[in-house]
Structure 1
Amino acid sequence: MSQALEKALSGEELKPPDIEELLELNLWDLGIAAGELTRRLFNGVVTFIPNLILNYTNVCTIACSFCAFYRPPRHPEAYTMSVDYAVKLVTEVDSRFGIRQVLVQGGINPELGIEYYEELFKTLKAKLPHVAIHGLSPIEVDYLARKHRMSYREVLERLKAAGMDTLAGGGGEILVDEVRRIIAPHKISAETWLRVMEIAHGLGIMSNATMMYGHVESKAHWAEHLYRIISLQRRTHGFLSFTAWNFEPGNSELTNKVPYPLTSATLLRVVAVARLVFKGELPNIQSSWLTNGLDTAQLALKFGANDFGGTLYEERVIPATGLSKPVFTRDYVINMIRSLGYKPAERDNWYRVLKLYD
């Protein structure tokens, strides 16, 4: 057994070189270790949440090279939903499927100020008080702070007062600036992303952590990314979950440099190592079916993931790459989890189990 794996299984803290060593190990050894650790933590329960992604605008001035969804201002394909239309869309999906969460995800639209988000969140809460708002990301918080000359704390306090329950983990990509300067040179630094998260956690706004791999980064960058996340988690205990996904070449600018995606085995490796690094300190790891497909997402549940994520009704970002996106209903997800020999459990926005389908 490798020294890094021994340290992971004995509960020792792992440094970036240890994490990098884990990333080089045999995939099946990683899967066995991560799978056993997950079974001890969750006893075969796999959670999910019925939710919707509200892509309220595709206008963005950040122009990330990996994104096929965004459009510059005044582009003929650009759109921005009115608050009334957005709320109507969420209400219709809730009446049809019954949802517990709306993920509010768009772009840096210079025509939108904090008042738009406040009105949107307040209206959603008034209309659908049972639906949690998992909204925006450190990228939007930074933009609103600069636009309105406010501190990050002031922006977050206003969004929380308007009804935002938790902060999404978008914009994390790889938390190493030499990578970020290549794939998203206009996006905030890794340190800024982490600082916004730390301030949010201090205000009682929990969030999730993310990782987008498979472009211009190395395994050493993966190790640094995972280490920075768990280091912040040990200080704040504010991350609810971790989600990793593969860069999907398609209609984005980055496709010219990275024409092919990494294999599904890469997701299994990242998930397994994340479990060994995070253990129970950051307990919830999503299997990420959206970009990696259902088969890989199912396998990820054997390699350390314990959460299937959401139903993701209305998601528009992935279809913009040219990939088709299936629609999974509550019943489909329950039956899929059960067919793998796990116990499906419907959760809320804070990963609390609401109903166990045993």
Structure 2
Amino acid sequence: MTTTVETILERALSGQDLQQDEGVWLLKQTSPEAIAQIRTAADQLRQQLVGDTVTYVVNRNINFTNICEQHCSFCAFRRDQGEAGAFWLAVDQILEKAADAVDRGATEICMQGGLNPNATINGASLPYYVKLVESIKHQLPGLHLHAFSPQEVQFIARQDGLTYAEVIAALREAGVGSMPGTAAEVLDDQVRRVLCPEKIDSATWLEIVSTAHQLGVPTTSTMLSGHIETPEQQIGHLERLRSLQQHSLHQEYPAQITEFILLPFVGQEAPKPLQRRVRRDQPVLKDALLLMAVARLYLGRWISNHQPSWVKLGLAGATEALRWGCNDIGGTLMEEHITTMAGAQGGTCMTVEQLQAAIASLGRPHQQRDTLYSKVDIGYQPVH
């Protein structure tokens, strides 16, 4: 490839879509000068597309069960029914957590869990999930439910013999406002056969997210990085996300991807076989920062909002990512179990004041947002 880093960056900043080989070329740069150029370009593109204001959401994360039928090679969260550490929250417990979150200023509940075959009503899965959503919305009608990944949608559909569209439409009608774009890991089936052989394949993940968009349910998008995947596979993942977003927009679907979130791999408590292959317990910050910058450049104008994970990188690492193309610092979460059980050191909760101080340390303004990136004017009212 004869092109230069400068040429690729100029193309990205002029609004052109990068080619896959150009994205790989950027990811393989090792000189400090080239990496500094990539960082600067990603930051410039961020400023062009979304300005200097850094957003955050006041939310609570509820992992309602860790009982799961699958055995992903990176997961330290899952348990079998009856195993030590297994849990499954009752609806009343979930309602209590949701109400407490609203009392603390939350506008969103992010709710995901393991694939629990016993989570049924009269032997069917969908009625259980619908009842859970309806119970929350009945008690807290103004709360946005960001709930149930494409993997969970496939699980419900498979359990009950339904189409993906039937499941998504029922959850939407019950009160789900948006779908987390998790379970994507890396959208490369060679990687998935090692990481998560029981999970849905790449095509199914893309189909479910596209169906959600068609039915008016916005989604996020994610990538689990820094394990066994190659730069080529990382860019292939970004290409699939970009193509999916382009399709949703060109088809004029009523919803699209709202954000991209990089989730660097935390391996401290991962099952031993994957630990031995990856040979690191915590993410490598410099690798994550470069990938976030290239993701900003590659996804371009198609996905405007980019978010690091303070749970995985720590608040200092996530704050640094705001200089590498990210414009959102995520949510307060209030509690987090999946990554923490994997050995993450970033913590499980951030206060609004902590997030605002981190943003202010860069000399940039902050703004509370809702799940779909609309400005929240009411401000944060801490409960004393």
Shorter-chain TM-score bucket reads over 0.9
Q: CA 1:323–1:272 in 2, change beyond 3 Å: closer, same or farther?
A: closer
Q: 1:192 aligns with which of 201, 204, 218?
A: 204
1:244-255 correspondence runs (5 A)? 244-253=262-271, 254-255=274-275
Q: Tell me which residue corresponds to 2:15.
A: 11
* TM-score with structure 2 setting the length: 0.90
What residue identity is the alignment partner of 1:51? N
* In structure 2, distance between residues paired with 1:339 and 1:213: 27
Q: Is 2:355 the counterpart of 1:348? A: no
Q: Show the counterpart of 2:287.
A: 266
Contact 1:343 1:356 in 2 (8 A): no
**1:172 alignment partner, SS class:** coil
Alpha-carbon distance in structure 2 between the residues aligned to 1:12 and 1:38: 15
3-state SS of paired residue (1:216): coil
For residues 209-248 of structure 1, the aligned pairs below 5 Å read: 209-237=221-249, 238-248=256-266
Q: Which runs of 4+ in 1 moved over 6 A?
A: none
Counterpart pick for 1:58 among 40, 59, 66: 66
Aligned counterparts of 2:373 and 2:101: Cα–Cα separation in 1: 22
AA at the equivalent of 1:323: A
Which residue of structure 1 aligns with residue 122 of structure 2?
none
CA contact (8 A) 2:55 2:327 kept: yes
Aligned counterpart for 1:303 among listed residues 321, 324, 332? 324
Of 237-246 and 317-326, more deviation after overlay is shown by 317-326
Which segment is superposed worse, 241-250 or 260-269?
Answer: 260-269
Which of 31, 34, 49 aligns to 1:41? It is 49
Partner Cα separation in structure 2 for residue 356 and residue 156 of structure 1 = 31
Question: What is the RMSD computed on CA atoms of the aligned residues?
Answer: 1.5
The structural deviation recorded for 1:255 is 1.6
Q: By how many angstroms is 1:46 displaced?
A: 0.4
Question: What does residue 166 of structure 2 align with?
Answer: 154
Where structure 2 has 5 or more consecutive residues not aligned to the other structure, the ranges are: 120-124, 250-255, 380-384
CA offset at residue 273 of structure 1? 0.7
Is the 8 Å Cα contact of residues 107 and 143 (structure 2) preserved in structure 1?
A: yes
- Does the Cα contact within 8 Å between 1:58 and 1:79 map onto a contact in 2? yes
Q: How many corresponding residue pairs?
A: 356
Q: Which runs of 5+ in 1 are unaligned?
A: none
Instruction: Work out which of the residue numbers 91, 103, 110 in structure 2 matches 1:103.
Output: 110
Matches within 5 A, 1:308-323: 308-323=329-344
Residue in structure 1 matched with residue 357 of structure 2 by the alignment: 335
1:131-150 aligned at under 5 Å gives the runs 131-150=143-162
1:24-63 residue CA offsets vs partner (Å, 9 max, x unmatched)? 2322111100101111222210000010110100011111
Q: Over residues 125-181 of structure 1, what are the superposed CA-to-partner deviations in whole Å (9 max), with x where a residue is unaligned?
A: 111122100001110111111111000000000000111000001100100000000
Taking the aligned partners of 2:348 and 2:201, their CA distance within structure 1 comes to 34
Distance 1:48 1:54 in 2: 18
Q: Is the contact between residue 56 and residue 330 of structure 2 (CA under 8 Å) also seen in structure 1?
A: yes
TM-fit CA distance, 1:17: 1.3
Separation in 2, partners of 1:86, 1:177: 35
